[in-house]
Amino acid sequence: MTATPPPPQGALALVDSIAKLGEGLKNGEQGARESLLGACSKLIAELSHPSETMLQLLWAQPSHLSVIRMGVEIKLFQAMDDIDESGKTITEIASKCESRVGKKVDPVLVGRMLRHLAAMHTIHETAPDTFAPTATSKAFAEPSYQDTILYIVDNFQPAHQKMPSFFQTHGFSTPDSQTDGPFQHAFDCKGYHYFEYFQKFDQEMGRRFGSMMDAWSKGRPRWFEPEFYPVKERLVDGAEGAGAFLVDIGGGTGHDVQGVKDAFGSALPGKVVLQDRPEVIDHAQVGEGIEKMAHDFLTEQPVKGARAYYLHSIIQDWSDDVNTQILKAIVPAMKKGYSKVLINDFVVPNQGAAWPQTALDWELMASLGARHRTEKEHQKLYDGAGLEITGIWRHPHSLDSLIELELA
């Protein structure tokens, strides 16, 4: 009989660390939850045999994604949404799916789906052939999560699948074109930018993308929260009442600017402006006190002398040359010593980058020929646009940063 090998020293150290972090979680310590997630993930990697890791990555996760996609097709997550914690049988759940899609849904197929979802902890298995929802599966029933699943699987996975052939034909170097990258290779649309493709060829893909961005913001600390960036001290105090207070440039459907308005209400001195392309602005549903304005951020900023010009996940989407053009379009509108540019983006550490940063960096390359930047790379970019960093703020529960800039 083969003896069980002793656990790696790294794993034992992680066990001790997890115990301490668990106590921190119980005591409500800042960042304990995030650190615990990271430590548990590392422990799994340390304890797993390479074959187990291979099967998890190449069997379990792809099958999981396939089942989730099928769950959207048969409205499985909506069917389970109102099931209580004791659960329902496979037959009952399949019947609920049938009533939602208006077609026959095989209970055997549903059972196979439910078992894998339970094995991956997306739902609970409460008894033999009996399953109940989790917070994750309930979220998957929401429209923005449904759109995210459809976008990732149907609209973006082809770019990943075609990655090897792209590099075989383009050489194994980082793409530097935003109109000739893995996405254009996969969708045979060389010469068209990712966002341009949405507008010209697949508006439904573009709608799903926008909905995915809304889902991405759920559960994440917002830049205007007191623990993240001190809006009152840095923006409200000293603000002039007349004119614009905040301009959200490329703000999509307005979830950020609406969040600021909801958080501060009448305490915000001056108007709040949401800017994006005309076809995006037309779909933005924002409340009273927010002005919608169609604007191309490559052209001169029309709102002059605002207290703050805010860009969320814009810098990461473009090359240095385009970003310099975007920033230089804002500079003439700024009032020296008063106006600020706020960049809500990732600042990648030189060591210890987290998986959301590294994964999104790869997605940016595939879709936009773009990338994340280190603090030094951010600094170089802003220097070239005549701006200087006056502070970088981070939230203990977030990987995002808020970079504050002023005229140099």
pLDDT tens digits, 392-401: 999 887 888 9
Query: 408 pLDDT exceeds 60?
Result: yes
Q: Find the mean pLDDT for residues 123-127.
A: 98
Residue 389's beta-bridge partner residues? 405
Query: 95 pLDDT exceeds 80?
Result: yes
Top pLDDT among 218 and 339 is at 339
Which residue in 18, 15, 14 sits closest to 33, CA to CA? 18
The predicted-structure confidence for 355-398, as pLDDT tens digits, reads as follows: 888 999 999 999 999 999 999 999 999 999 999 999 999 988 78
Three-class SS state of 130:
strand
Query: 66 pLDDT exceeds 70?
Result: yes
Would you state the pLDDT for residue 200? 92
Top pLDDT among 266 and 123 is at 123
- Calculate the average pLDDT of the chain: 93
Please name the residue that has the structure tokens 């001169």. 300
Would you state the pLDDT for residue 364? 93
Q: Tell me how far apart the alpha carbons of residues 151 and 401 are, in angstroms, rounded to a whole number.
A: 26
The predicted-structure confidence for 32-46, as pLDDT tens digits, reads as follows: 898 899 999 999 999
Spatial neighbors of 144 by CB under 8 A, at least 6 apart, are: 211, 212, 214, 215, 218
- pLDDT band at residue 1, thresholds of 50, 70 and 90? low
- pLDDT band at residue 70, thresholds of 50, 70 and 90? very high
pLDDT-wise least confident of 21-30, 100-109, 152-161: 21-30
DSSP code per residue over 220-238:
S--TTSTTT--HIIIIITT
Q: Find the mean pLDDT for residues 285-310.
A: 94
Would you state the pLDDT for residue 92? 98
Chain-centre distance for alpha carbon 74: 26
Would you state the pLDDT for residue 2? 61
Query: 224 pLDDT exceeds 60?
Result: yes
The predicted-structure confidence for 313-330, as pLDDT tens digits, reads as follows: 999 999 999 999 999 999
The predicted-structure confidence for 138-186, as pLDDT tens digits, reads as follows: 999 999 999 999 999 999 999 999 999 999 999 999 988 999 999 999 9
- pLDDT band at residue 7, thresholds of 50, 70 and 90? confident
Return the structure tokens found at 27.
């005591």
The predicted-structure confidence for 44-53, as pLDDT tens digits, reads as follows: 999 999 999 9
The predicted-structure confidence for 232-243, as pLDDT tens digits, reads as follows: 999 999 998 788
- pLDDT band at residue 251, thresholds of 50, 70 and 90? very high
Q: Find the mean pLDDT for residues 299-320.
A: 95
- pLDDT band at residue 110, thresholds of 50, 70 and 90? very high
Q: The sheet that has 400-407: what strands, in order across it?
A: 290-294, 271-276, 244-249, 308-312, 340-346, 400-407, 387-394
340: left (phi over 0), alpha (psi -120 to 50) or beta: beta
Query: 219 pLDDT exceeds 80?
Result: no
Distances (CA, A) of 53 to 41, 58, 120: 12, 8, 14
Chain-centre distance for alpha carbon 388: 27
